[in-house]
Amino acid sequence: MSNERRVIVHPDKETLAGSVAARFLTKVVDLIAEFDEATVVLTGGSMGIAVLAAINASPARDSVDWSRVNVWWGDERFLPEGDPERNETQAREALLDHVPLDPARVHPFARSDAGIDLDAAAAAYAEELAEHAARDSRQPHFDITFLGMGPDGHIASLFPERSGIREREATVLAVRNSPKPPPERLSLTLPVINSSARIWLVVAGQDKAAALGLTLAGASINEVPAAGVEGRRRTLFFVDGEAAAEVPENLIDPGQFWTGADEG
C-alpha cells in the first residue's frame, strides 16, 4: 500500500471542482462494487461545497447507489439546525438533499439547539463513531475524507498553536474560542482524520499558497496543521494554479488524466 502525497494542479476553481467531482463519482462506484458500501467524510468551506455542487451537477451523479453511501463530517460549527453557516446545511443544499441517501447512514454533528452543550455534543459524536467503528478501531473505516485548508494552514477545526492539533486520545474535540467565527465548533482529531484510506485536500486561491508550500515542505504541525495530514493509502492535494504557486515542482503530478487503475 502507498501513502504517498501528490499534488494535482488545475487551472481554475471551476475546473478543480469538476475534476474532483468526477474522480469522486468514479471512486465511489468502484468502492461500492468491491465492498457494497462507501464511507466518506465531508468538509465545509467554499471549495468543499463547490465539489459537492459539482457532484450534484454531474451527468454521472446517478451512477452511484447513494443508498450504500455513509456520510460523516470532519468538523462542524456549533449552530442551530438549518443555520446557513453549518457545514451540514450547506452540504444538504449542495448535494445531500438531491440524492437518495439512507438517512440512517448520514451522521451530522449535533446542533446547538438540540438541548446539549458543546462537550456533550463532542461526546455524542465520539459515541456514534464508536458504534459504527471498524474492528480494532474507535471509528468507522473511512474511504475518502475531504479537507479544506485555511490561509493559516488549519484543517477541519484544528488550528495552529492550539492544543487540539496535538490531541491523540480523544476522537472528537469541543473547540472553544476558535480564531474563526463562530467560536464554538466540533472537530475530528488528527489521528481520526489520518485513519482514512484516502485524504483529498481541495485548496484554491492565492491566499493559500504560502500555507500549502509550508505543508508540503514539512512544517511543524503545531504551526501548520495541514502538514500533519497523511491518509493510510494516499494523500492527494487538488489545487488551482494560484494555490500551487509555492509547491515544489517535483511534487506536482505531471499527468492530466486519471483512470480507475489509480489507487487514489
The ranges assigned to domains in the chain are: 4-251
What class, spelled out in words, does domain 4-251 have in CATH?
Answer: alpha beta
Instruction: Please name the residues in contact with 17: beta carbons below 8 A apart, sequence gap of 6 or more.
Output: 47, 50, 51, 53, 54, 202
Model pLDDT for residues 59-114, shown as the tens digit of each residue: 999 999 999 999 999 999 999 999 999 999 999 999 999 999 999 999 999 999 99
12 strand-pairing partners? none
Q: pLDDT value at position 249? A: 78
| Complete DSSP assignment for the chain | ---EEEEEEESSHHHHHHHHHHHHHHHHHHHHHHHS-EEEEE--HHHHHHHHHHHHHSTTGGGS-GGGEEEEESEEE---TT-TTSHHHHHHHHTGGGS---GGGB-PPPPTTSS--HHHHHHHHHHHHHHTPPTTSSS---SEEEE---TT--BTTB-TTSGGGG--S-SEEEE-S-SSSSS-EEEE-HHHHTTSSEEEEEE-SGGGHHHHHHHHTT--TTT-GGGG---SSEEEEEEETTGGGGS-GGGB-------TTS--
Q: pLDDT value at position 1? A: 37
Q: pLDDT value at position 261? A: 38
Q: In the chain, pLDDT over 70 holds for what percent of residues?
A: 94
Q: Does the model's pTM come out above 0.85? A: yes
- The parts of the chain modelled with pLDDT lower than 70 are 1-3, 254-264
